[in-house]
Chains A and B, each alone.
Chain A
């Protein structure tokens, strides 16, 4: 009887902690999205003094119309363009490198692989300033090249592909070679079509990296015509400091797409990120 009571008690405690944690996690989303459908005066009225209405969504789409008059659409298109090219280019070159590491023994393979592993220990933000100076020297500063090309090679993704390609039976590849397929043919026609799960996870990672990048696009491409979505968002928050509803609307749109993708492919995303196969 006492045991039973004790167990019950721990379950209630668990639910209580989980519930408090969930409120802290969700509150910013809830409030931000709810307020994005209100006028500014409504937002402020619900806050001082605070009323339960602060958590109820409004019905106005004005803030959404306003941000699209404000170059937000442009930066969204830019971000789509940059993300999609980065995903396509990044998947191609990193899967090729992963294939090389998995299929061949060659001079310097361990050292080169060591460099690749080292490269994903280097935080992108720490090299942003020297990279910026480099872009100015080679004339890519303030162009789409600067936004895309330095972001393509990615040690983590090379690693993911290498692990996957190591699991492909050698007999399959040898048979294809005997049939006269070139190495590129083996890669393109046999290995790549088998790698759909990795490709999904890796593509999602590359997409999210680009969609969420802020510092690099901020310094590498300052022209408004090249602004990416997070940069525009950051600009909104300083230039329209008191226009809260537009900041909320822009944040909601910018946050929506990665969230949808991540939830659609949660398993692949988590596998790619953690390197652990999800059940």
Chain B
């Protein structure tokens, strides 16, 4: 092949298609998003006019109560959902490490939600949580609990979304933790047992340090994923009732696709991206430092 004669070009030729794809469709859009957030589009007189307005779109946002409310909801969701999902995934992974005749089938069944796309999970759960005829109200009725409004009540809707996302997410994150747990050499546990360690001590001094990297990865990846959680909002709540599920990513989506206010939409997305990077940076910094401390001891 003449084409490959020039040796120094060979690696770049192999790399080119994937690299172009990565830069054009994964990295460049971040830049476009920021650039477009500095532009105001007016439709006066039927013609679309684009004006460069520096940070005016951001200024409008900071004066906007809806934006602040949305930020507050995002913060609340982040603080609740991530620790909840990590704790549940870790608990489940530990439970599934026990030896049992049925462990293979039990594990397989617990993995079911991974194969179900979020829109499907959302739709089924939406019907289960239906206030009038839903399955959940039927089931809790057996225990004498009155029917709940769930997704149509501003105090319950966000919790319902947390439940749906957790049902779908726990199995997925558990998979990584399970793989990490199986990677821990059995001798460590045997040594700890010889030293007379209690189950809790084994967990604290063998499992946690050995699993540290996996937990950190899952924590960071889960946080990043939940910052952009909006499928249940698009399909079920539309950010309501009374904006109670109007997280930043959904507000950004709605500003663009419902109100054609792209400057606002992309300002919100840019702010969300910056927040995500800061939070992930802090997690990496805080968690890896803290673990170093334990090692030294």
Residue ranges of A at the interface with B (Cβ–Cβ < 8 Å): 14, 17-18, 21-22, 24-29, 31-32, 44, 47-50, 54, 92-94, 96-97, 99-101, 103-104, 106, 109, 112, 115-116, 118-119, 121-123, 125-127, 129-131, 133-134, 149-153, 155, 158, 182-185, 187, 208, 211-212, 214-215, 218-219, 230, 233-234, 236-238, 244, 247-248, 251, 254-255, 258-259, 262-263, 266, 270, 273-274, 276, 278-279
The answer, yes or no, to whether B114 is at the interface (CB within 8 Å) is: yes
The answer, yes or no, to whether B60 is at the interface (CB within 8 Å) is: no
Q: Are B8 and A106 in contact (CB under 8 A)?
A: yes
Tell me the bound Cα distance from A48 to B92 in angstroms: 34
- Tell me, rounded to whole Å, the shortest Cβ–Cβ distance linking A198 to chain B: 15
- Tell me, rounded to whole Å, the shortest Cβ–Cβ distance linking B265 to chain A: 6
The B164-178 residues at the A interface (CB cut-off 8 A) are 167, 171, 175-176
- Tell me, rounded to whole Å, the shortest Cβ–Cβ distance linking A212 to chain B: 4
The answer, yes or no, to whether B53 is at the interface (CB within 8 Å) is: no
Q: Are B117 and A255 in contact (CB under 8 A)?
A: yes
Residue of B nearest to A237 (CB): B123
- Tell me, rounded to whole Å, the shortest Cβ–Cβ distance linking B141 to chain A: 6
Tell me the bound Cα distance from A97 to B21 in angstroms: 11
Neighbour of B119 across the interface among A158, A233, A273, CB < 8 A: A233
Q: Are B21 and A149 in contact (CB under 8 A)?
A: yes
Residue of B nearest to A161 (CB): B18
Listed residue (A99, A130, A133, A219) with the most chain B CB atoms within 10 angstroms of its CB:
A130
Residue of A nearest to B220 (CB): A121
Tell me the bound Cα distance from A234 to B117 in angstroms: 11
Tell me the bound Cα distance from A128 to B174 in angstroms: 27
B84-114: CB near A (< 8 Å → 1, else 0) gives 0000000010010010100000101111111
The answer, yes or no, to whether B79 is at the interface (CB within 8 Å) is: no
Q: In the assembled complex, which residues on chain B have CB atoms less than 8 Å from the CB atom of A255?
A: 115-117, 120
21 A-B pairs whose Cβ atoms sit less than 8 Å apart in the complex: A22-B110, A28-B121, A31-B128, A31-B135, A50-B138, A93-B17, A99-B14, A104-B10, A109-B11, A115-B19, A115-B22, A115-B23, A134-B32, A149-B25, A153-B20, A230-B117, A233-B120, A234-B123, A247-B123, A258-B117, A262-B115
The answer, yes or no, to whether B225 is at the interface (CB within 8 Å) is: yes
Q: Are A134 and B29 in contact (CB under 8 A)?
A: yes
Q: In the assembled complex, which residues on chain B have CB atoms less than 8 Å from the CB atom of A54?
A: 135, 138
Q: Are A26 and B112 in contact (CB under 8 A)?
A: yes
Q: Are B115 and A259 in contact (CB under 8 A)?
A: yes
A-B complex: 8 closest residue pairs judged by Cβ atoms:
A153-B21, A50-B138, A212-B117, A130-B33, A97-B18, A100-B14, A150-B25, A259-B115
Q: Are B29 and A22 in contact (CB under 8 A)?
A: no
Residue of B nearest to A126 (CB): B228
The answer, yes or no, to whether B285 is at the interface (CB within 8 Å) is: no
Tell me the bound Cα distance from A109 to B15 in angstroms: 10
Neighbour of B253 across the interface among A48, A93, A129, A258, CB < 8 A: A129
Tell me the bound Cα distance from A115 to B19 in angstroms: 9
Q: In the assembled complex, which residues on chain B have CB atoms less than 8 Å from the CB atom of A24?
A: 167
- Tell me, rounded to whole Å, the shortest Cβ–Cβ distance linking B54 to chain A: 19
Tell me the bound Cα distance from A150 to B92 in angstroms: 36
The answer, yes or no, to whether B256 is at the interface (CB within 8 Å) is: yes
Q: Are B224 and A121 in contact (CB under 8 A)?
A: yes
- Tell me, rounded to whole Å, the shortest Cβ–Cβ distance linking A273 to chain B: 6
The stretch of B148-156, B269-277, B288-296 that contacts the partner chain = B269-277
- Tell me, rounded to whole Å, the shortest Cβ–Cβ distance linking B203 to chain A: 15
The stretch of B67-75, B189-197, B229-237 that contacts the partner chain = B229-237
Tell me the bound Cα distance from A279 to B104 in angstroms: 13
Q: Are B10 and A25 in contact (CB under 8 A)?
A: no
- Tell me, rounded to whole Å, the shortest Cβ–Cβ distance linking A99 to chain B: 6
Q: In the assembled complex, which residues on chain A have CB atoms less than 8 Å from the CB atom of B98?
A: 14
Tell me the bound Cα distance from A259 to B112 in angstroms: 7
- Tell me, rounded to whole Å, the shortest Cβ–Cβ distance linking B20 to chain A: 8
Tell me the bound Cα distance from A236 to B126 in angstroms: 13
Q: Are A211 and B117 in contact (CB under 8 A)?
A: yes
Tell me the bound Cα distance from A104 to B11 in angstroms: 6
Known contacts A26-B112, A127-B33, A254-B120; A47/B269 CB under 8 A: no
The answer, yes or no, to whether B12 is at the interface (CB within 8 Å) is: yes
Q: Are B249 and A126 in contact (CB under 8 A)?
A: yes
- Tell me, rounded to whole Å, the shortest Cβ–Cβ distance linking A102 to chain B: 10
- Tell me, rounded to whole Å, the shortest Cβ–Cβ distance linking B251 to chain A: 12
Known contacts A96-B15, A219-B257, A255-B117; A234/B95 CB under 8 A: no
Neighbour of A153 across the interface among B14, B17, B109, B132, CB < 8 A: B17
Q: Are A234 and B234 in contact (CB under 8 A)?
A: yes
The answer, yes or no, to whether B139 is at the interface (CB within 8 Å) is: yes
- Tell me, rounded to whole Å, the shortest Cβ–Cβ distance linking A117 to chain B: 10
The answer, yes or no, to whether B80 is at the interface (CB within 8 Å) is: no
Known contacts A50-B138, A106-B8; A28/B128 CB under 8 A: yes
Residue of A nearest to B128 (CB): A28
Q: Are B33 and A28 in contact (CB under 8 A)?
A: no
Q: Are B256 and A123 in contact (CB under 8 A)?
A: no
Known contacts A219-B257, A262-B114; A131/B21 CB under 8 A: no
